């Protein structure tokens, strides 16, 4: 699946006057990309959140462990390997973040989004609202892209 990114950071703006801590947990598989929403597994690992997930909202941060490739784009477009530490933060209302829109999405400014299978976001239909799109994004069939979302 191809991926596009327009920025070099996942957390664009944190709500609050203090920097919240960054946590690390092992990845459950090799399908975790920076910007995906995560859920904790019963084994204490992180994995992409499913469509029934209703929070807390946890986001995978930039992959700082990309071997042999220190370009900014690689830190955002390279999946974490299975069993490695995934840096992540718990999001709160007001945070502005780059999440990953699922394939075949047409997200306009003001659209509400929800989490879909694997931690990708889609336009809200029947799930729990994650936030509101602040920068429009369109993805093609089989392609994902970053989407700027205000959490809440």
Express each pLDDT in 35-66 by its tens digit: 999 999 999 999 999 988 888 999 999 887 66
Spatial CB neighbours of 73, under 8 Å, sequence gap ≥ 6: 5, 8
Mean pLDDT along residues 76-101: 92
- Distance in angstroms (rounded) separating the CA atoms of residues 77 and 128: 26
pLDDT at 68 over 70: no
This model's pTM is above 0.85: yes
């Amino acid at each position: 699946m191809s991926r596009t990114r327009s920025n070099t950071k996942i957390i664009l703006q944190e709500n609050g006057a203090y920097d919240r801590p960054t946590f690390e947990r092992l990845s459950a598989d090799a399908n975790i990309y920076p910007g995906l929403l995560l859920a904790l597994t019963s084994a204490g690992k992180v994995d992409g959140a499913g469509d029934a997930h209703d929070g807390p909202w946890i986001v995978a941060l930039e992959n700082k462990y990309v071997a042999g490739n220190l370009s900014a784009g690689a830190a955002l477009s390279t999946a974490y390997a299975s069993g490695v530490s995934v840096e992540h933060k718990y999001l709160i209302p007001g945070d502005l973040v780059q999440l990953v829109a699922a394939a075949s999405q047409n997200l306009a400014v003001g659209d509400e989004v929800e989490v879909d299978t694997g931690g990708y976001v889609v336009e809200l239909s029947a799930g729990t609202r994650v936030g509101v799109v602040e920068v429009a994004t369109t993805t093609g069939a089989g392609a994902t892209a970053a989407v700027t979302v205000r959490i809440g």
